[in-house]
Chain A
Amino acid sequence: MKYETVIGMEIHVELSTQTKMFCGCANAFGAGENTLCCPVCAGLPGTLPVINAAAVDYCIMAGLATNCEITRHSLMDRKNYHYPDLTKGFQTSQLYYPLCRNGYVDIETESGVKRIGIREIHMEEDAGKLVHPDGQSCSRVDYNRAGVPLIEIVTQPDMRSAEEGRVFLETLRNILLCIGISDCKMQEGSLRCDVNISVRPEGSEELGTRTETKNLNSFRSAGRAIEYEAARQVDVIEGGGRVVQQTLRYDDATGTTSALRSKEDSHDYRYFPEPDLMPIVVDEDWIARIRERLPELPETKRIRYERELGIPGRDARMLSSSRRLSAIFETAMAAGAAPRAAANWLIGDLMRMLKDRLLDTEEIGFSGEDLAALIALIDKGTISSTAGRQVLEGMLDTGKPPSKLVEELGLTQISDADALGEIVKQIVRDNPKPAADYRAGKKKAMAFFTGQAMKRTKGKANPVLLQELFAKELKK
C-alpha cells in the first residue's frame, strides 16, 4: 500500500523586542546567568505583568505578513504547570482568543506552488533555562530567558512531504526575517519547531494518529525527522501495529526519534483568562499603523522583480525570498548595476559558492555596492567574467572590496593590443591546421584560438580584444 504523510507544525519564534514581554528587563541572548531579571520576571510575590506593546505589534506584523485575520478583542490566558524554569507556576499564553487567525503562506517546491494554511498565531512568554553543571549533583536555573516574548505559529496539517516541510520553514523564516521581528536562529533557539506527523493510505480522507516531534535544531533535521518518523509509522502499521499518540524527541546524531511522553501523562494545563491583564483591543487604526510599518514582503517583491525588472520567475522568487539577498540586489541596482547582471551573479555563481561553503544567504558579508563595483569592473573590461568569479569568491570569503581583490590576485585584464598581438601571431603560427580550418569557413575554430590565448595569459586577456586580433591575424 502507498502512504501519504500529513504534516502540521507549531513554530515558536522569539521576538527581538528591546525588552521582555511583561517587564522592562532587556531581551538579549548570551548575558551572564540571571543578570537580566527583575522582581516581575522572577515571579516574586506581589508583582504584576504589564504587556509590552511592541510584542503585540510584532505579533500583528507576523499575522498580517501571513495573511491572517487579526482578533479585535484578544485575551491572555494562564497555562498552569510546574517546572523549575517557570517562575510563576504558569505560562502566560493565549488559548481562547489568539491574536491572529486563519492565514496562509504560499510555498514553491519542485512540484509547484502550494498554499499552507496558518491556523493561528498567538503570543506567549518564554521560560528560563535549566543548567546542569558537569560533575555536580545539582541543577541551576538561568532566568534570563524567562518572560522573553514569543509567538507560536500553528499551521494546518497541509504539508505532505519532508520537502514541503523544509521549504515551508524556509519560506516562513524568510518572511519573519523580512519583517524584522526575530533573528530566527534555530541554533540559539530563537526559532523552534515541533512537527506533528501522521500517515494514511493514499486517497484516504481520514487523518491517522499523529505524533509530535520536538528538538529539531535545523531545517535539515526537520526534513530528516519527517522522513524518519513517517517511515517509522508506516513500518508500525505494515507490521500490524498501531501508531501511539505521543511526543517524540529527535536525535540529530542518530537521525532517529524516541518517546518523550505519551498522551496518558499529558498535562491538564487548567487554562483560564489571565486576571492580571486587561483584554487586548486592536482597532482599525492600530492595524493600519502596523500595515504602514510593514516592509515590502517577499511575495510583493517577487512580483515587482518579475514585472518591472524583467527577472525570470524562479530567479525573482529566489532573490525576493531572502532578506539579505534582496537587500544586496537592490543596493547593487541603486549603485548602478543592471538588474539582470546583478541577478545573474547572485543567483548563479553566488548560490553555488554558498552551497559549497554550507553558508546561508544571511551570512553573506559583502554589500550591494561591492557587487555593483564588480559588475562595473567587468563592464569596463578591467577584468574578465572568468576573473570576476574569482573576485566574487574573494568577496564572499574575505569581505574585501573587488578593486582590492583584483589587485591582490593580479587579475587585471590585458587590454594592450601590442602585448596580445605578439601572442596572437605566435599561436596562429604554431597552429596551421586550425588556422586553415578557420580560413576555410569553420568559424568554430575561433574558440580554440581564444582558449589558447587565455591559457597563456592565465585568463587575463580581454576576450573581446582577442577575437578582434585573431580575426585580423587569420585574414592575413
Chain B
Amino acid sequence: MQLYEYTAHELRSLLRSGEVSAAETARALLERIAGTDPQLNAYITVLGDAALEQAGEADRMLKAGDGGALCGVPVGIKDNICIRGVRTTCASRMLENFFPPYDANAIELLRAQGSVFLGKCNMDEFAMGSSTETSYFGTVRNPHDLSRVPGGSSGGSAAAVAAGSAVVAIGSDTGGSIRQPASLCGVVGMKPTYGMVSRYGLIAFASSLDQIGPLARSVRDCAMVLDAIVKGDSRDTTSIMDAQDGFEARLNIDMKGKRVGLPREYFAQGVDEEVRDAVLEAAKTFESMGAVCEECSLPLAEYALVAYYLVSSAEASSNLARYDGVRYGYRAHGAKDHEEMFVRSRSEGFGREVKRRIMLGAYVLSAGYYDAYYKKAQQVRTLIMRDYAALFNKYDFLLTPASPTTAWKEGARIDDPLRMYAADMCTVPVNIAGLPALVLPCGRGEGGLPIGMQIIGPARSDALVLGAGYAYEQAAGGGALRPVDVGGGQG
C-alpha cells in the first residue's frame, strides 16, 4: 500500500511506532498532489517546502513524544481559512494576493498538534456554490468521474480526500458545503454543532450559519480532527466555551434501542430513487443493529431552502462589503475618485455568483423589504428549530439523504441557479437550526457514483452523531475507504 492511501488513524500508529516518518509521508502526499492535481485542480496553493519543514518539526515532536493525534498527518485546508503568511484567496480574484497576518483558531490548534499543511484547497468563490465551478481558479473535478463536479463549496477538500491527495481536510459548511461534496465524492464529512469550532480566521460567508468541520476517509478520522479543533475560543463570541472534545474515545455507541427518524420530506420529490433506496437500505443496517427506524415529518423543511438563501445572502452582502480595494485585495486602477474605485474594484474582483448573492442580500435587507424577507426568514428559522426540537423528543437522531442526486456533469447546472440551489435541500435545514450532521457513503448509484447519507442529531450531540456513523461504518464493511484511482474506479 502506498503511504498516501492510509487514513489518519492508521498513519498515527505508523508515525508513532517510527515505521514511517512525517517527512516521507509529506513527500508521498506532495507527490500524489503532483500526480493528480493537474486533473483534479483540488488545490489553489500547494505548500511544498513549508509542508516539508512542518513535517521535519513533526518528526522532532514525534521523537520527543510530543504532539497530538494528528502529529505528522498531512492536512488540506480550504482556502477560506487563514494561515499566517500563506495566500488565502477564497477562490476569488478579489483576494488573489491576500496574505493574512494571522492564523485561524483551527489552524493554531492543528499547528499545536504538529499536523502538516499540504496546501489551500479549491472551493466555490467565497463558498458560494454547490459544484466548485464558481472558483476564480477553475473548476474542481470529481475523482470518481472527471467529467463530473465534486459538489461544493468544499469541492477541493472533498476531491483531495477522495483522491488521496490529502489524508484529511478542513472545510467549512454554511448550507452543506462540507456534507454535499463529501457525499458526491464518497467521503465522510461532518458539520459540527454551530459554535463547536471557533470561526476566528474563517473568512465569513454567512456568520450565523458558517461552521468549520472535517472531511476524511473514515468516521474515526473525522473524530480525530474534531478532537483537535473543537475548543472554546474567546475571540469568537458565538463559540461554545465549554465544548467537550474526546470524540474518538466516545465512538463506540450501542445502536440497540436507538430511535431513528426518517423525515419523509427528505425522501420526497426531487430525490433520486437510487439515493432514496440506498438510504433506506442504510436504515435497515441500523435496524439490524437493534435501532428502531420510523418515518416522521419535518413539515417546514420545504421553507428551509428559501429561508437559507435569504438569511445567508443578507449576511453575505454585509460580510463582503469590506472588499472595497482600499486596504487589501483587488483594486481597480485609474479610478477618478473613491466611489468609482469601490464600484470598479468590486465589479471586477467578484464573480457572477458572488455578485448575485450580494444583490439578493442587499435587496432583502433594504428599507421596506426587511420585514417581508429577512425578518420573515428569521422567524421561519425559529419555527424550523422548534420542529427539530420536537422530533428530537421522539428520536435520538435522524437519517436522511445528503444530496438529492449523485454528482452531475460539469456545466449542467451552472446557468440555472435555482436548480443549483436545490442541490442543497438536504443539507441547509441543519445549518438553519445549528445542528450537528455527519455525511458518509452508503452505496453507489448509476456509473458507480457515490451516494451519501446524513445523520442529524440534536445540538451538541456531535459525539452521538459520530458514534452512529461509526456503528454504520463497522456494520457496512468496517474497512476504511481507500483513495480513488483518479479517473477510474476505486483503487
Contact = CB atoms under 8 A, between A and B. Distances in A.
Chains A and B bind each other? yes
Interface of A: 39, 42-51, 78, 80, 82-84, 87-90, 139, 141, 268, 270-272, 275-278
Nearest to A23: B235
22 contacts: A44-B100, A45-B98, A45-B203, A46-B80, A46-B104, A46-B200, A46-B202, A46-B203, A47-B201, A50-B234, A51-B237, A80-B362, A82-B321, A88-B321, A89-B318, A89-B322, A89-B323, A90-B318, A141-B326, A276-B238, A277-B237, A278-B237
B45 interface: no
B342 interface: yes
Contacts of A48: 199-200, 235-237
B322 A272 contact: no
B321 A276 contact: no
Nearest to B375: A272
B481 interface: no
Interface size class of B (residues with CB under 8 A): 35 or more
Contacts of B206: 275
B237 A89 contact: no
Most buried by A among B81, B208, B314, B365: B365
A46 B199 CA distance: 8
Given A44-B101, A88-B322, A89-B318, A278 B201 contact: no
Contacts of B234: 50
Given A45-B88, A45-B323, A80-B317, 12 more contacts: A39-B101, A44-B102, A44-B328, A46-B102, A48-B200, A80-B362, A82-B342, A90-B321, A270-B370, A271-B365, A272-B365, A272-B374
B43 to A, nearest CB: 20
Contacts of A84: 324, 326, 338
A80 B321 contact: yes
A44 B103 CA distance: 12
Nearest to B208: A275
A268 B318 contact: no
B82 interface: yes
A336 B484 CA distance: 91
A270 B366 contact: yes
Contact of B322 (A50, A87, A278): A87
Most buried by A among B320, B322, B342: B322
Interface string B94-115: 0100101110100000000000
B103 to A, nearest CB: 10
A140 B238 CA distance: 35
Contacts of A88: 321-322
B236 to A, nearest CB: 5
B201 A46 contact: yes
Closest 9 CB pairs of A and B: A89-B321, A270-B365, A275-B207, A275-B208, A45-B203, A89-B322, A46-B201, A46-B203, A46-B82
A42 B326 CA distance: 11
B40 to A, nearest CB: 26
B309 to A, nearest CB: 15
B370 A272 contact: yes
A174 to B, nearest CB: 35
Contacts of A51: 237
B318 A270 contact: yes
A80 B101 contact: no
Contacts of A89: 318, 320-324
B327 interface: yes
Contacts of A44: 100-102, 327-328
Contacts of A39: 100-102
Interface of B: 80-82, 88, 90, 95, 98, 100-102, 104, 199-204, 206-208, 234-238, 314-315, 317-318, 320-324, 326-328, 338, 342, 362, 365-367, 370, 374
Nearest to A273: B378
A90 B374 CA distance: 17
A249 to B, nearest CB: 19
Contacts of B81: 46
A43 B101 contact: no
Contact of B200 (A47, A80, A268, A270): A47
A141 B327 CA distance: 9
Contacts, number: 102
Would you call the interface of chain B mostly helix, strand, loop, or mixed? loop
Contacts of A275: 206-208, 238, 315
A78 B322 CA distance: 13
Nearest to B90: A45
Contacts of B327: 42-44, 87
Contacts of B90: 45
Contacts of A277: 237
Contact of B324 (A45, A82, A271, A278): A82
B196 to A, nearest CB: 15
B238 A278 contact: yes
A48 B206 CA distance: 13
Contacts of B200: 46-48
Contacts of B204: 45-46, 276
B283 to A, nearest CB: 36
A43 B322 contact: yes
A82 B320 CA distance: 11
B321 A45 contact: no
Given A50-B235, A270-B366, A278-B238, A45 B314 contact: no
Contacts of A47: 102, 200-201
Contacts of A83: 338
Contacts of B203: 45-46
Nearest to B328: A44
Contacts of A42: 327
Given A46-B82, A48-B237, A276 B207 contact: yes
A441 B98 CA distance: 99
A88 B317 CA distance: 11
A414 B327 CA distance: 73
A11 to B, nearest CB: 25
Contact of B365 (A43, A49, A80, A141): A80
Contacts of A50: 234-235, 237
B241 to A, nearest CB: 11
A77 B350 CA distance: 26
Contacts of A90: 318, 321
Contacts of B314: 272
B318 A78 contact: yes
A268 B363 CA distance: 11
Nearest to B94: A45
A294 B94 CA distance: 49
Contacts of B100: 39, 44-46
A87 B327 CA distance: 8
Contacts of B370: 270-272
B367 A276 contact: no
Contacts of A141: 326
B338 A276 contact: no
A270 B324 CA distance: 18
B362 A270 contact: yes
A277 B236 CA distance: 8
A208 B362 CA distance: 33
A45 B205 CA distance: 10
Most buried by A among B95, B238, B321: B321
A469 B316 CA distance: 92
A268 B208 CA distance: 23
B427 to A, nearest CB: 20
